[in-house]
Amino acid sequence: SQQGEEDPQALSIQEGENATMNCSYKTSINNLQWYRQNSGRGLVHLILIRSNEREKHSGRLRVTLDTSKKSSSLLITASRAADTASYFCATDQETSGSRLTFGEGTQLTVNP
Amino acid sequence: GAVVSQHPSRVICKSGTSVKIECRSLDFQATTMFWYRQFPKKSLMLMATSNEGSKATYEQGVEKDKFLINHASLTLSTLTVTSAHPEDSSFYICSADMQGGYTFGSGTRLTVV
């Protein structure tokens, strides 16, 4: 079952602005991952943050994890039109045996 | 990096026929593969976990006789949608477990007419 909830469901910004997406989950996790999906395509892994980490950076991406609130955020800085895609968080739950549970996703549109 | 090759990318079939989707791990061995289904503008729903050499584990509500999974080798897992109906039209994606990391196929758009 899907346990992740993401907000906003859709986000439209101008090029150069920052985009923040949030994800909440319900059970204890081993790690949380963020993926990107272009329309009609497969998923591309962006970043993984472990349950004992609080923040992680990768290029223009910054991910935070608050296990006390069971939430995570993905920040994309200096957005580009090419960042337009759907973004999903996925949790690797402690009891799931390596199965990922995906959030509902945020559709990001970056206008040139 | 590790790649999972998924074929076909698109398939249109007639109602009542069966369709096979293949996922191959390139340059690595995938002991475990996962099959997901995705409806338009929705998230990925895990259908089943496929383990090489053993029976797949299906999620609750997924008909194992309708969605046949075979994982006969460490580099190939297949999903066969049997007696397809229009409601089976969806986007199917496979994923391989790489011991802590996951690599996804590019997906298959199935349209049943």
From the list B34, B43, B49, which residue is nearest A2 (CB)? B43
Asked if A105 is an interface residue toward chain B (Cβ–Cβ < 8 A), one would say: yes
Residue with tokens 């096979």: B20
* Contact in structure between B6 and B74 (CB atoms under 8 Å): no
State the smallest CA–CA distance between residue B105 and chain A in angstroms.
Answer: 6
Q: pLDDT tens across B65-93, in order?
A: 999 999 988 899 999 999 999 999 999 99
Contact B41 A103 (CB under 8 A): no
Contact A42 B32 (CB under 8 A): no
Q: pLDDT tens across B86-104, in order?
A: 999 999 999 998 766 788 9
Between CA A3 and CA B73 the distance in angstroms is 32
Q: pLDDT tens across A6-50, in order?
A: 888 899 999 999 999 999 999 899 999 999 999 888 899 999 999
**Helix, strand, coil percentages, rounded to 5, for chain A:** 5, 60, 40
Contact A104 B46 (CB under 8 A): no
